A and B are shown apart, each in its own frame.
Chain A
């Protein structure tokens, strides 16, 4: 039974691809409105965990409840509660910005009468209303990422999943992304982000996880961590220890 204030409750979650174990017995409770950042080296299982949360892939073992709903039994209900942002934009280059959003609004079951007003308001919030009749393919990387945020927030999701959203963004575009991210949506939206950008994530999030080799090796609230430097040391000690151990066993 998940705690009452948990929006995501993961119990004994494992995932294998053939012989390779991507996730090993993950247990995790995420509270409503929390901003959780997941760090870890490549291949740690972060993206796999996010994909299981978004019901794109099924776990090999264990369960995941989102708002008390079993992901295995009702994946479509859960997908309706989730907005996803990735380094991929999920946008059709040949369609105009507005057409992209109208299409996804229909996919998310937003009623036809409300689509135009919803699309206008979300385009305005990401500062793209003036460019709404231009093709997404003609946008810069930063603009595409803003449109991608609009697409993810269109149906007012309760959970926002972000997989390395800073990839390909310059400093200015990254700052813009954060401004839009923190300025749009309700404050009680639960945000889960995978990133390698420790400094930026440290500023934004409430809770930090480190994953390595398919396991959660570190899980603390930001208030429990003194500084970003302390967290970096923790991160390196966890990741390097495992890398050293692997190196020795290989020899």
Chain B
């Protein structure tokens, strides 16, 4: 676990120095929110419609910004043969996966943290259940990143990695995105964690499955 944290810290240090991935994810996420708010401009005064549309808009922004970030996650490791350098180290391959998952999740959390206030303003929202929303976003993001990191490693060595990643990732994250959108919708209108218990259970189960499977199969995705 210690070595995974070192890998995550190394990734974050590199990223905060260049901010390449973070800036593009953030800009993309904000553009999605702004475009949707402009296109739904006429209905933003109708609370009932907004409550139905907004959770989907929020997760579209997160998903696509996240996919953008994930596509760069292993691309950096391919430069100068760094992934091979890591593979030559006496560490368990799953440490690389865990480290990368942690750093990708932290980057996504930062983007989400900066996107939500803009979303609240543009969609004219009254946020009531912050802890519930934070929990849903945490679980949804973790599930998304668990699958995404694995597929990012898988597609990194292919020639068309920018195309390959979304093609593989988007169908696989549907089981995470659907309960996340439903729970976000409920929490934004109702505000109680109790009312989203079934969605939370689903998210926890999917997160665990994807995270464990990711660790088990990661070795084969980075094998020469």
Binding site for B on A (CB under 8 A): 51, 54, 56-57, 76-77, 79-80, 82, 84, 86, 88-95, 99, 103-104, 106-109, 151
Contacts and interface: CB of A to CB of B under 8 A. Distances in A.
Given A91-B80, A94-B18, A109 B10 contact: no
A113 to B, nearest CB: 15
Given A79-B89, A79-B90, A95 B224 contact: no
17 contacts: A56-B88, A76-B91, A82-B88, A84-B85, A84-B88, A88-B84, A89-B80, A90-B80, A90-B85, A92-B10, A92-B14, A93-B79, A94-B13, A95-B14, A99-B10, A106-B3, A107-B6
B82 A94 contact: no
B20 to A, nearest CB: 9
Interface string B195-224: 000000000000000000000000000011
Given A94-B14, A95-B10, A107-B3, A88 B80 contact: yes
Given A92-B10, A95-B13, A109 B80 contact: no
Contacts of A109: 90
Given A89-B81, A92-B14, A92-B82, A56 B224 contact: yes
A89 to B, nearest CB: 5
Interface in B43-71: none
B89 A93 contact: no
Interface string B1-25: 0010010001001100110000000
A93 B17 CA distance: 11
B86 interface: yes
B224 A57 contact: yes
A77 B6 CA distance: 20
Given A51-B224, A76-B92, A94-B17, A56 B82 contact: no
Contacts of B87: 56
Given A92-B14, A109-B90, A103 B6 contact: yes
Contact of A79 (B10, B14, B88): B88
A101 B19 CA distance: 22
Nearest to A57: B224
Contacts of B90: 76-77, 79-80, 107-109
Contacts of A91: 80, 82, 85
Interface of B: 3, 6, 10, 13-14, 17-18, 76, 79-82, 84-92, 223-224
A57 B80 contact: no
Nearest to A106: B6
A19 B92 CA distance: 30
Given A57-B224, A95-B14, A107-B86, A90 B81 contact: yes
A84 B86 CA distance: 11
A54 B88 contact: yes
Contact of B80 (A76, A84, A92, A99): A92
Given A76-B92, A107-B3, A109-B90, A93 B80 contact: yes
Given A92-B14, A95-B13, 14 more contacts: A56-B88, A76-B90, A79-B88, A79-B89, A88-B81, A88-B85, A90-B82, A90-B84, A95-B17, A99-B13, A103-B6, A104-B89, A107-B86, A109-B90
Contacts of B17: 94-95
A160 B44 CA distance: 66
Nearest to A105: B6
A93 B6 CA distance: 17
